[in-house]
Structure 1
């Protein structure tokens, strides 16, 4: 998977989750949802979708790495600090953490696969 593919699909999924979360309240399927988390998903989704559809390969790679690392950190922290320093009143459950870890691993992997073309 290329970084652009991760950015496109990852961005779309985050945008959808953010919108659904804003309208459904505290749960989206088995995932917890808080307004702060929904807004973060919307911002992250917008950035990823933008670089996925309109950015360069290098930009997509950079943002895939950034969000990959962020999602990995959130996924790990969520097991120990479910409310993330009281930023998320509903807290993160095991399903949330697993999804964040998967998003993170795929983002880091896709981001570091990018190799600039050499002349």
Structure 2
């Protein structure tokens, strides 16, 4: 039982650290490069958003309770942003969301919600059965 809980905590931390690191790097690079890999189109608002999300993820990865919360909240936020980007590509004038941005957000969102909610639910079911 303790092993499953430890794995759960490790997955939350890995997600928070990797997603945080990826978005921090993208946020920094975005100030110097407008088109990342010819797919992602970055600008100042996008970069600031990526830096905030990235630094928050890295910080959350070192705190047990925060890693799970970050994984859950960012997963939902990325899913919503990915879906919203298909309907409001200019995101209320704040930033432009292209198809590639929407796909990236949906992938990270699906991963975050799976790790944060589905694996967490499985752990709770296992705990109740053994209790």
Q: TM-score, normalised by structure 2?
A: 0.80
Q: Give 1:22 deviation, angstroms.
A: 1.2
Aligned partner of 1:68 in structure 2 is 75
1:3 to 12, 19, 38: 12
Aligned partner of 2:36 in structure 1 is 28
Aligned partner of 2:84 in structure 1 is 77
User: Are residues 1:104 and 2:126 paired?
Assistant: no
Structure ranking higher in helix proportion: 2
Moved over 3 A (4+): none
Decide which structure has the larger Cα Rg and report it.
Answer: 2
Long gaps (5+) in structure 2: 1-9
RMSD: 1.8
Q: How many residues are aligned here?
A: 113
Q: Give 1:60 deviation, angstroms.
A: 0.6
CA distance in structure 1 between the aligned counterparts of 2:51 and 2:98, rounded to whole angstroms: 20
CA distance in structure 2 between the aligned counterparts of 1:77 and 1:67, rounded to whole angstroms: 15
Contact 1:7/1:64, CA 8 A, preserved across alignment: yes
CA distance in structure 2 between the aligned counterparts of 1:80 and 1:32, rounded to whole angstroms: 18
Q: Give 1:37 deviation, angstroms.
A: 1.1
CA distance in structure 1 between the aligned counterparts of 2:22 and 2:75, rounded to whole angstroms: 15
Q: TM-score, normalised by structure 1?
A: 0.87
Aligned partner of 2:46 in structure 1 is 37
CA distance in structure 1 between the aligned counterparts of 2:116 and 2:14, rounded to whole angstroms: 10
